Amino acid sequence: MTDLNELTLAQARDGLARGDFTSVELTAACIAAVEAARPLNAFITETPEKALAMAKASDERRASGTVGLMEGLPLGIKDLFCTEGVLTTAASHILDGFHPPYESSVTTRLWSEGAVMLGKLNMDEFAMGSSNETSYYGNVVNPWVPEGDNRRYVPGGSSGGSAAAVAARAVLAATGTDTGGSIRQPAAFAGIVGAKPTYGRCSRFGIVAFASSLDQAGPMTRDVRDAAIMLRAMAGFDPKDSTSVDMAVPDFETALDGDVRGLKIGVPAEYRVDGMPAEIERLWHQGEAWLKDAGAEIVPISLPHTKYALPTYYIVAPAEASSNLARYDGMRYGLRVPGKDLVETYEGTRAAGFGAEVQRRIMIGTYVLSAGYYDAYYLKAQKVRTLILRDFQQAFQGVDAILTPTAPSAAFAFGEKSGDPVAMYLNDVFTVPASLAGLPGMSVPAGLSATGMPMGLQVLAPAFDEMTMFRVGAALERAAGFDARPAKWWVS
Partner 1 sequence: MSLDRDTVRRVAKLARISVNEDRLDDLGHDLNRILGFVEHLDEVDVSGVQPMTSVASQTLRWREDRVTDGGYPEKVTGNAPAADHDFFAVPRVVE
Subset of residues 313 to 342 that bind partner 1, contact rule: CB under 8 A:
314-315, 322, 326, 329-336, 338-339, 341-342
159 is catalytic: no
360 CB-contact burial (10 Å; exposed 0-12 / middle 13-18 / buried 19+): middle
- CB of 322: closest distance to partner 1 in angstroms? 7
Site for partner 1 contains 414 (CB under 8 A): no
Residue 370 exposure: Cα atoms within 13 Å on the Cβ side: 6
Out of 182, 203, 409, 435, the active site residue is 182
- CB of 254: closest distance to partner 1 in angstroms? 25
Considering only the stretches 65-73, 285-293, 415-423, 440-448, report the one whose residues sit in contact with partner 1 under the rule CB under 8 A.
415-423
- Cβ-based nearer residue to partner 1, 291 or 469: 469
d(CA 53, CA 426) in angstroms, rounded, equals 43
DSSP class of 249: P
Return the C-alpha torsion angle 317, 220, 301, 478, nearest 10: 170
Considering only the stretches 157-165, 267-275, 417-425, 453-461, report the one whose residues sit in contact with partner 1 under the rule CB under 8 A.
417-425
Q: State the sign of the Cα–Cα–Cα–Cα dihedral 87, 91, 93, 94.
A: negative
- CB of 344: closest distance to partner 1 in angstroms? 8
Helix (H, G, I), strand (E, B) or coil at 380: helix
d(CA 435, CA 291) in angstroms, rounded, equals 24
Name the nearest CA neighbour of 191 among 3, 439, 476, 457: 457
> Per-residue contact track with partner 1, 373 to 402, x per CB under 8 A?
----x-xxxxxxxxx-x-------------
> Per-residue contact track with partner 1, 101 to 130, x per CB under 8 A?
x-----------------------------
Site for partner 1 contains 4 (CB under 8 A): no
Site for partner 1 contains 366 (CB under 8 A): yes
- CB of 105: closest distance to partner 1 in angstroms? 13
- CB of 248: closest distance to partner 1 in angstroms? 16
- CB of 345: closest distance to partner 1 in angstroms? 5
d(CA 442, CA 406) in angstroms, rounded, equals 8
Looking only at the bridges linking them, the beta strands covering 43-46 and 173-178 are unpaired
d(CA 118, CA 441) in angstroms, rounded, equals 27
- Cβ-based nearer residue to partner 1, 391 or 477: 391
- Cβ-based nearer residue to partner 1, 5 or 306: 306
Residue selected from 12, 233, 437, 459 as contacting partner 1 according to rule CB under 8 A: 437
Looking only at the bridges linking them, the beta strands covering 116-121 and 441-448 are unpaired
**Residues in 65-104 that interact with partner 1 by CB under 8 A:** 97-101
Residue selected from 38, 307, 327, 488 as contacting partner 1 according to rule CB under 8 A: 307
Sheet hosting strand 116-121, strand order edge to edge: 43-46, 116-121, 74-78, 173-178, 216-221, 193-196, 441-448, 454-460, 401-405, 264-268, 297-301
Site for partner 1 contains 344 (CB under 8 A): yes
Name the nearest CA neighbour of 216 among 422, 461, 437: 437
Contact between residue 361 and residue 321 where contact means Cβ atoms under 8 Å apart? yes
- CB of 433: closest distance to partner 1 in angstroms? 12
Q: How many of the chain's residues bind partner 1 (CB under 8 A)? A: 71
- Cβ-based nearer residue to partner 1, 32 or 389: 389
Out of 23, 130, 135, 158, the active site residue is 158
d(CA 428, CA 157) in angstroms, rounded, equals 10
For the annotated catalytic residues, the residue numbers are 78, 158, 182
